Structure 1
């Protein structure tokens, strides 16, 4: 094997290795978080019921529909919370968390006084702090608040009874981690709601605290695996809105039932969370374990149990992850250059399986998530490069047909060139043709309402309708222009009736688009229509571009421009044709004149007609 070949292979492999490393380190979760995250989620969802045993000390008092109906519309008087806290304290609750922000003073000072007296009387009650952040921080990783909503001063809540209730979501919108503490406007750390409540029942040596010297959060000798936002992974022990069951969910109590209880409830030593349990109060988040959103109070409850049991699933450190990528890459470069064919394939599959097994072992035995996608991305890309490299070394020349297919899109154009036996050359010829321009009306509003994958699917369906209609009437698909299409009739193969073919194709598009629109309205609640413009006349048709690299078979000229202008003036579902096209098809279709319009590029207004349909 030549030295030059080795150098080329090593250089390409190193580039791919560095690319994988960059993808892994580009941000806290890596560029392929949308693949890596769901893999982690799938393993965590696969845990058995026994492993998801909920902590029976944790109770949730729901602000539910039943309570709202009985007590009245939100917000409630502060005396209501004071009475509830008294009931819970009488029942022996060890810790009480109120997940309702009370940042504004009550209109009745006596209400605030009643709750303030209760908070002063019982030191095991935690009140919420909501920290608000600007849409964009000055630097990545900053946690500088824009505003902090503390309990109103009229409640005279002391700092030890305050905790933040912020829930951060990942890039895919799911809540997987909770910040155990966040800095206030002065840089002093406010513990999480879950941390503050857990600390009320943990002994002193195991309380979760921040080491000011190192910035680490610790529970006794255990260092919590936090990220740059002080988040740790929340282990979910229950599904969203889990009904009470000894083995599947935390005990749920209705707020009004607790308030109206005549005798103490069996809550001795319990951690009681009080919070919204109705969708209308907008305190729910998607989680990785279910398609059903989970209320914030449930997330805090699961986080409390995570802290109590010290069950932290953590990602491998970045240096370890980078080391794994480098090792896998260098080994792959050596083996794939040394071995070819089936041997290389078996080595490739073996490395994939071996690393997958190691990844699973680290998860099950050590609760550590090694990077999975990034080392395998390096492995796959290096293997693919080796295949390409070997192929290019054995076959350097491309035949003429491959060159033709690489330059042209339209099958009609390719067939004509193959039959002619002539080389592809720059230039064109003047031909009488008809042009159609099509654009999707309402595409931008639709793209804002649908998910990106749905937008692509809808766009492909509409473009498929256009393409099939064009080919049905022997047209040539010139190009896709964003969410629009340009097509020509009468070139490269000449047809005398090309204006008729163009109009029939347009009617076909409109008809099929109406069918597709109804289907999309039923599926997504939104549909879009076409706007079409047709013009006929002389244009220069031929190959434009770089003779050595890329050619485009297209048409240019005033005929093309007017067709595009007609399309831009067409209303949704409207087919506009020029006077030149109208004169050639007026006896074949139902057409109405809409008068003259001023179009860009024309000094005088042009006569425009609308095609209604077939006669």
Structure 2
């Protein structure tokens, strides 16, 4: 290994080692996980079927059905009617309910009539006779149970991670001994159906769905373990009921090496699963199935040809019933269609799976390509190095495509990222020198960050640049209230001196808390935390800086009083979230700054501090990042420029630093908000008046309480609408 390329090759080897460790699972890299998920989604979207599968039909409890029948849950008499129609009129092969029926249906009033028959009308023979005649028609659970016996019906239920035993479970599909070689997810409890209903149904299947790390549903657990035994998912149980099959474990061979793996088998249908019993969902383009409104099926208006001999899943797409999932296909995907996709995939035999040798293949390719490129690329010109890398990447993409068509899911990201990163590293190495970067770092960031941070950054300048990137940061805006009026009473020199002294004091506070000054806009200061130097506690530093600015202003105002300068009052807004940060502007002028909705909201929060007579307002994301601090929820507001309401908070400080009476006031205002949003004006006013008295004894400001008393007084004479959500709307910035 020539000394000329030593540094470059050492860096390349480090990249190879990191990716090998990632492929073995020793280290986790979030960006790699996201890239792998993206590559899987791309392959799926490019190859998924775009036709409707007539073998599976979804009976949809949709908005039209809810409008005609009534809000959910329906009486079991309506479900009995639906089930009888499916079996007796439409002659479907089987019905799977993506629903659970855990509670007794009392909507018919039978329980009340029975109570009267046993008490007030105990000796009334006519009442007893009429009730006995009506009892069968009023026992809705019995009617539904009777309908479930007409043909194969499968009920839904769910498992829980906490101990719970609600309803009756179906029989397990496999014993603990049969699934000993699978590491199935364990459940601690369940929520299942009434025993009466479960005994009438053929079986039941759980409808739990576990999303991947990014919230997207790509796989479904086909089996789950409870008390040793294994239970089937709704899709698997429904297919078994329709086909009349029994489940067992078999070995299957994986191309191209003929390695063996375990698979579930139902007659001649193989269901490849991973070691935890999960299978990839073979999505079709949405919608991939015929949707029939439940009300049309109940009324017999749906075409018989669409349902006859079909496997039917009963579920809902109504947004209010919250069975919508995020999938690679669409963001709001009906959960019931995920079960339908799995049934189709099993019938077609096209469930994809990751072969048992996938990890070993990744490691072999990473080591082979990584070592080879580490040795070869430094010796090639940038053009030849790029051509070689593109050729290797293209060859591997072809392998991925062949594997996908063979129902094999190979990892794409590790190998392609390795090739791409090594190519870019070797092409860019000659353009960046460490010594030049060290000299430039102060020029780049010296005007934005404190000197001590510049020193820290200069130790590894390659980590820092001004290119725009998306990062999680905390943004602070501060502004002097009534500054226009203040400036009118000062000479130009006095105004300049006052502003310089004020900005200097506030900047010192921000620098003490590791903040980056973005810009000064007259009397307004904009700062942020978390860039250019990463800061895992940026939200804490930003909030503490805002509180420290308020405290520093007290001392500053004392000095101003000695000079006969006006007193200043500052509003501070802080918000946290993903923003774009980097060098932005034009060829004439560039600035290292931040942009995005999070920044805009931080500015709005500063602007409404005066509306609540508080010195500082922070957003929800900031509060969520700081459990160690105490905040008072001020309101739920819709600021100008935002469609959705946001909750706003006033920070009080670290919980460990606050006196108990102040904590009591904070807790008390939470009760005020609850009463206020419930339109319980009397309770809210009584609590506010009590808090004002308590605040006065603590010499604590009461402006916020007075504002809410004024609102309550207004709402007493101008009541809000019945659907009022408690949100206060600001029309100005």
TM superposition shift of 1:144? 1.8
Query: Which residue does the alignment assign to 1:579?
Result: 558
Secondary structure at the aligned position of 1:117 is classed as: helix
Aligned: 1:310 with 2:349: yes
Query: Which residue does the alignment assign to 1:126?
Result: 154
Query: Which residue does the alignment assign to 1:567?
Result: 549
Alignment counterpart, residue 144 of structure 2, candidates 115, 118, 125: 115
Aligned: 1:46 with 2:46: yes
Equivalences for 1:436-585 in 2 at 5 Å? 456=473, 459=474, 485=515, 507-509=523-525, 566-569=548-551, 577-581=556-560, 583=562
Secondary structure at the aligned position of 2:343 is classed as: helix
Query: Which residue does the alignment assign to 2:19?
Result: 20
Aligned: 1:282 with 2:322: yes
Residues 486 and 126 of structure 1: CA distance in aligned 2, closer, same or farther (over 3 Å): closer
Equivalences for 1:239-388 in 2 at 5 Å? 239=286, 242=287, 249-261=288-300, 265-266=304-305, 267-291=307-331, 293-316=332-355, 317-363=358-404, 365-383=405-423, 386=426
TM superposition shift of 1:57? 2.4
Deviations 1:16-71 (A, max 9, x none): 222102223328997422122122222322347xx322211221111122222222
Secondary structure at the aligned position of 1:155 is classed as: helix
TM superposition shift of 1:381? 3.8
TM superposition shift of 1:329? 1.1
TM superposition shift of 1:300? 1.5
Give the Cα–Cα distance (whole angstroms) in 1 for the partners of residues 417 and 509 of structure 2: 33
Whether the aligned pair in 2 keeps the contact of 1:235 and 1:311 (CA below 8 Å) is yes
Secondary structure at the aligned position of 2:523 is classed as: helix
Whether the aligned pair in 2 keeps the contact of 1:531 and 1:568 (CA below 8 Å) is no
Higher-RCO chain (CA-CA 8 Å, sequence separation at least 6): 1
TM-score (norm 1): 0.63
Query: Which residue does the alignment assign to 1:172?
Result: 214
Aligned: 1:103 with 2:143: no
What is the Cα-based RMSD across aligned positions, in Å? 4.8
Residues 12 and 251 of structure 1: CA distance in aligned 2, closer, same or farther (over 3 Å): closer
TM superposition shift of 1:159? 8.2
Give the Cα–Cα distance (whole angstroms) in 1 for the partners of residues 512 and 267 of structure 2: 58
Residues 388 and 264 of structure 1: CA distance in aligned 2, closer, same or farther (over 3 Å): closer
TM superposition shift of 1:583? 4.5
TM superposition shift of 1:331? 2.0
Residues 355 and 157 of structure 1: CA distance in aligned 2, closer, same or farther (over 3 Å): same
Give the Cα–Cα distance (whole angstroms) in 1 for the partners of residues 93 and 159 of structure 2: 26
Give the Cα–Cα distance (whole angstroms) in 1 for the partners of residues 238 and 192 of structure 2: 17
Residues 326 and 255 of structure 1: CA distance in aligned 2, closer, same or farther (over 3 Å): same
TM superposition shift of 1:6? 8.0
TM superposition shift of 1:76? 1.9
Residues 233 and 580 of structure 1: CA distance in aligned 2, closer, same or farther (over 3 Å): same
Give the Cα–Cα distance (whole angstroms) in 2 for the partners of residues 169 and 482 of structure 1: 42
Aligned: 1:229 with 2:276: yes
TM superposition shift of 1:183? 1.6
TM superposition shift of 1:165? 1.1
Whether the aligned pair in 1 keeps the contact of 2:183 and 2:277 (CA below 8 Å) is no
Give the Cα–Cα distance (whole angstroms) in 2 for the partners of residues 313 and 354 of structure 1: 22
Alignment counterpart, residue 188 of structure 1, candidates 219, 229, 239: 229
Alignment counterpart, residue 56 of structure 1, candidates 51, 54, 57: 54
Alignment counterpart, residue 149 of structure 1, candidates 191, 206, 216: 191
TM superposition shift of 1:128? 0.9
Query: Which residue does the alignment assign to 2:67?
Result: 69
Whether the aligned pair in 1 keeps the contact of 2:220 and 2:278 (CA below 8 Å) is yes
Deviations 1:139-158 (A, max 9, x none): x9762213111211132426
TM-score (norm 2): 0.54
Give the Cα–Cα distance (whole angstroms) in 2 for the partners of residues 192 and 593 of structure 1: 59
Give the Cα–Cα distance (whole angstroms) in 1 for the partners of residues 146 and 207 of structure 2: 23
Residues 76 and 157 of structure 1: CA distance in aligned 2, closer, same or farther (over 3 Å): same
Residues 146 and 412 of structure 1: CA distance in aligned 2, closer, same or farther (over 3 Å): closer
Residues 123 and 576 of structure 1: CA distance in aligned 2, closer, same or farther (over 3 Å): farther
User: After alignment, is 308-317 or 577-586 more displaced?
Assistant: 577-586
Residues 453 and 255 of structure 1: CA distance in aligned 2, closer, same or farther (over 3 Å): farther
Deviations 1:474-527 (A, max 9, x none): 989779769973769xxxxxxxxxxxxx9x8661338x99xxxxxxxxxxxxxx
Deviations 1:77-116 (A, max 9, x none): 2222222211111121101112221122333582222222
TM superposition shift of 1:279? 0.9
Whether the aligned pair in 2 keeps the contact of 1:284 and 1:295 (CA below 8 Å) is yes
Give the Cα–Cα distance (whole angstroms) in 1 for the partners of residues 61 and 206 of structure 2: 19
User: After alignment, is 60-69 or 103-112 more displaced?
Assistant: 103-112
Residues 486 and 172 of structure 1: CA distance in aligned 2, closer, same or farther (over 3 Å): closer
Could you list the runs of 5+ residues in structure 1 that have no partner in the other structure?
A: 243-248, 417-423, 425-451, 464-471, 489-501, 514-527, 534-562, 602-615
Secondary structure at the aligned position of 2:272 is classed as: coil
TM superposition shift of 1:166? 1.4
User: After alignment, is 211-220 or 224-233 more displaced?
Assistant: 211-220
Deviations 1:207-252 (A, max 9, x none): 764459986323556653323432211122241xx4xxxxxx4222
Give the Cα–Cα distance (whole angstroms) in 2 for the partners of residues 566 and 106 of structure 1: 59
Give the Cα–Cα distance (whole angstroms) in 1 for the partners of residues 27 and 228 of structure 2: 22
